Structure 1
Amino acid sequence: MDHPYKTLEIVRENTSSSVFHLILNRPSQLNALSLDSFAELPKALSSLDQNPDVSVIVLSGAGKHFCSGIDLASLSSISARASSGGDRGRSSELLRRRIGSMQAAITAVERCRKPVIAAVHGACIGGGVDLVTACDVRYCSEDAFFSVKEVDLAIVADLGTLQRLPRIVGYANAMELALTARRFSGGEAKDLGLVSRVFGSKSELDKGVTMIAEGIAAKSPLAVTGTKAVLLRSREMSVEQGLDYVATWNSGMLISDDLNEAVSAQMMKRQPRFSKL
Structure 2
Amino acid sequence: MNATTTPTAAAQPGPLTCFTLSTTGHIAHLVLSRPEAMNTMHPTFWRELDAVLTHLHKSGEARVLVISSTGKHFSAGMALETFGSEIALDDRSPEGRAAVFDMLGAMQATFTKLETLRIPVIAAIQGGCIGGAVDMVTACCLRYATADAFFCIQEINIGMVADVGTLQRLPKLVPLAVVKELAYTGRRLPAAKALGYGLVNEVFDSAEAMLAAAMQCAGEIASKPPVAIWGTKQAVHYARDHSVDDALKQMGWLQGAIWSNAHVRESVTAMKEKRAGQFPGLSPIKNFNEFGQ
TM-score of Structure 1 vs Structure 2, range by shorter chain: over 0.9
The code of the aligned residue for 1:133 comes to T
Structure 1 CA distance for aligned equivalents of residues 13 and 256 of structure 2 = 39
| Shift in CA distance, 266/102, structure 1 to aligned 2, threshold 3 Å | same
Q: What's the CA shift string for 1:77-124, capped at 9, x where partnerless?
A: 3663525xxx71221122222111111111111111111100000110
5+ residue gaps, structure 1, are: none
Residue 125 of structure 1: aligned partner: 130
Residue 170 of structure 1: aligned partner: 175
Within a 5 Å distance, the mapping from 1:195-214 to structure 2 comes to 195-214=200-219
1:97 aligns with 2:102: yes
CA contact (8 A) 1:3 1:10 kept: no
Cα deviation for residue 208 of structure 1 reads: 1.1
1:8 is aligned, of 19, 22, 28, to 19
RMSD: 1.7
1:226 aligns with 2:234: no
Residue 18 of structure 1: aligned partner: 26
Q: What's the CA shift string for 1:149-194, capped at 9, x where partnerless?
A: 1111100000000000011002111111111110121111101111
CA contact (8 A) 2:26 2:63 kept: yes
Residue 57 of structure 1: aligned partner: 65
Q: Percent identity?
A: 36
The TM-score, its normalising length taken from structure 2, stands at 0.88
Residue 45 of structure 1: aligned partner: 53
The code of the aligned residue for 1:34 comes to H
1:82 aligned counterpart, secondary structure: coil
Structure 2 CA distance for aligned equivalents of residues 249 and 38 of structure 1 = 32
| Shift in CA distance, 3/63, structure 1 to aligned 2, threshold 3 Å | farther
1:152 aligned counterpart, secondary structure: helix
Residue 164 of structure 2: aligned partner: 159
1:186 aligns with 2:191: yes
Q: What's the CA shift string for 1:1-52, capped at 9, x where partnerless?
A: 985222222123x4xx111111122211101111111122121011112223
1:118 aligned counterpart, secondary structure: strand
CA contact (8 A) 1:110 1:136 kept: yes
| Shift in CA distance, 162/2, structure 1 to aligned 2, threshold 3 Å | closer
The TM-score, its normalising length taken from structure 1, stands at 0.92
Q: Runs of 4+ in structure 1 displaced over 4 angstroms?
A: none
Structure 2 CA distance for aligned equivalents of residues 44 and 183 of structure 1 = 30
Answer with 240-249 or 60-69: which moved more.
60-69
2:257 is aligned, of 249, 252, 257, to 252
Structure 2 CA distance for aligned equivalents of residues 48 and 159 of structure 1 = 22
